[in-house]
Structure formats: C-alpha cells, structure tokens
C-alpha cells in the first residue's frame, strides 16, 4: 500500500460509496498499523450498517465518528472526539470525500439545489479542514520527513472532472448538474488557495477526481467500480509530493485542466 507511513486518516462520507471503500482498503492493508476515523452523518442508521460491520472487524483500527459536514456543531464535536483519540500525534491525512449532486440545469435548478451543493461540496471541506488544522499542523511538525507527503500531513479534496471549466463542453448537455459543477469548481479554488497558504507549514493539498464510478452518485453506467477507483486514488495519494501541492489530478495521477 502506497500510503504506508501515514499513521492517521479521517475520511468524511465514509458510510457508503467511495468513502466506505477507502476505509475498507486502508483497513485491509494497514490493520494494526494506523488509525482510521470513519466519519459519517448518521452512524446508527441502516445506511451505515456496512461501515459498522467493518469497524467491528477492525476494532483497533477503525473509529466511527458522527460528522455532518454541513453542521458546524457536529464538526467541532467530531474534532474533540478525534483529538482525544489522537493522543498528541496529530492527523496525517484528511480526506474531504462527502458530497452531493443533483442533475439540475439553469432552467430547472432552485435556490435549494445551489445551497445544498455549495454547503456540502464547498463549505463542508472548508469547515472540516479549518477545524482539523491544529491536528494537521501537529502531524506536520512531528514528522521528521523532508518535503510534503501524505505520510506527513495532507488534505485530499475529492474533486470532479465536472468541476473543470475547460472540459464542460464535453459533458454538459448529457450530464448538466449545474449546481454540482459550480460547487466542485469552487472546491478546486479552495484547494489551490489552501495549498499556497499552508505550504510553509508542510501541509499538502490535492484535488483528486476518482473517475466516473458506479456508486449511488455515479449511477450504474459509471466506467469503473469503487475497488478500481479507490486503488487508484490511494496509489496516487502515496505518490504525492510538494510538486503536486495544489494540483487537480485524476485517479491515475494525470493533471486535469482547470
């Protein structure tokens, strides 16, 4: 496993889709050598059963944490629970994975479509990153490794090619999702700004498009399954250095146009 030296990860939206598969692959490959904080908004709901089963299988590795990325209070409570369990070691990797999408276009979109998309896909990562910064800084300071990497301190923003302004003509008519696209374009800008702001502190930021994946969001026609996507994303994460700080990449490591 490429992200071999990271000791701690927090993944949002970990109860299904790509988030759940990321927790699964990390636990399977890293059991007993790392701490995984699997965050989801309704840990006791039936939709989180698969995550709870996984956490029972790896009780020393996985901690399920309640975290609704749109609720500031839920975020601060999650920070104090995770902080207490980190025991001074800091947080190596935050994966801002939770996201929502609607298939709106300009004619049929609503204020609500935009509010939900912006609050979840942009403000969620902003909020969660801001609150977990002290633990990312702690991990960066504690690391003896040179340069930037996921083994040291990193924020991975799960982005989308649909946030690419350049590539919009290729897919907009078939898959509009105007509120989703705009929120993911804004997420790219957040990623880029934060990368510059925190490079002096050794925290790496990268926006990674996971491919078109067969999940509830990606639908049954997606090009790849969650296993292939997450294998690619984790491999990618393991190869990131300061050269990729602020970059927008796909799950093979290919640079995507803004």
Binding site for ligand NAP (CB under 6 A): 12-13, 15-19, 40-42, 47, 68-70, 97-100, 120, 124, 158, 160, 209-210, 212-213, 215-218, 222
By C-beta, is 188 or 245 nearer to ligand NAP? 188
Which residue has the closest beta carbon to ligand NAP? 17
- Find the shortest distance in angstroms from Cβ 39 to ligand NAP: 7
Q: Which residues contact 240 (CB under 8 A, 6 or more apart)?
A: 148, 149, 150, 154, 204, 206
List the one residue out of 96, 210, 216 whose CA is nearest residue 162. 210
Rounded-to-integer distance, Cα 240 and Cα 120, Å: 26
Nearest C-alpha neighbor of 231 from the set 251, 208, 207 = 251
Q: Which is nearer to ligand NAP, 109 or 151 (CB)?
A: 109
Residues facing 157 on adjacent strands: 96, 207
CB of residue 87 to ligand NAP, shortest distance in Å: 25
b vs e for 115-141, b when ≥16 Cβ sit within 10 Å of the residue's Cβ? ebbbbbbbbbbbbbbebbbebbbbbbe
Residue 36: other Cβ atoms inside 10 A: 24
CB of 66 to ligand NAP, least distance (A): 9
Minimum distance of ligand NAP from residue 43's CB (angstroms): 10
Distance CA 63, CA 38 (A): 6
Which is nearer to ligand NAP, 143 or 154 (by Cβ)? 154
Considering the complex, what minimum distance in angstroms separates the CB of residue 62 from ligand NAP?
Answer: 15
Question: Among residues 11 and 153, whose Cβ is nearest to ligand NAP?
Answer: 11
Pick the closer one to ligand NAP by CB: 86 or 233. 233
| Residue 231 phi, psi dihedral angles, 5° rounding | -60, -45
């Amino acid at each position: 496993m490429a992200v071999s030296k990271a000791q701690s990860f927090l993944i949002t939206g970990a109860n299904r889709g790509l988030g759940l598969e990321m927790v699964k692959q990390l636990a399977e490959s890293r059991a007993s050598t790392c701490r995984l904080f699997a965050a989801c908004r309704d840990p006791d709901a039936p939709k989180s059963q698969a995550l709870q089963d996984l956490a029972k299988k790896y009780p020393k590795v996985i901690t399920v944490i309640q975290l609704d990325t749109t609720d500031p209070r839920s975020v601060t409570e999650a920070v104090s629970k995770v902080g207490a369990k980190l025991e001074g070691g800091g947080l190596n990797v935050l994966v801002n994975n939770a996201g929502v999408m609607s298939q709106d276009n300009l004619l049929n979109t609503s204020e609500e479509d935009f509010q939900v998309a912006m609050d979840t896909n942009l403000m969620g990562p902003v909020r969660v990153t801001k609150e977990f910064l002290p633990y990312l800084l702690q991990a960066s300071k504690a690391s003896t490794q040179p340069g930037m990497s996921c083994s040291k301190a990193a924020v991975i923003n799960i982005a989308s090619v649909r946030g690419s302004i350049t590539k919009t003509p290729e897919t907009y008519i078939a898959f509009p999702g105007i509120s989703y696209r705009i929120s993911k374009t804004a997420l790219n800008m957040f990623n880029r700004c934060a990368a510059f702001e925190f490079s002096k502190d050794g925290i790496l930021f990268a926006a990674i498009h996971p491919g078109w994946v067969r999940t509830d969001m990606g639908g049954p026609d997606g090009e790849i399954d969650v296993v292939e996507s997450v294998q690619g994303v984790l491999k990618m994460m393991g190869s990131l250095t300061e050269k990729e700080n602020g970059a927008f990449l796909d799950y093979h490591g290919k640079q995507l146009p803004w």
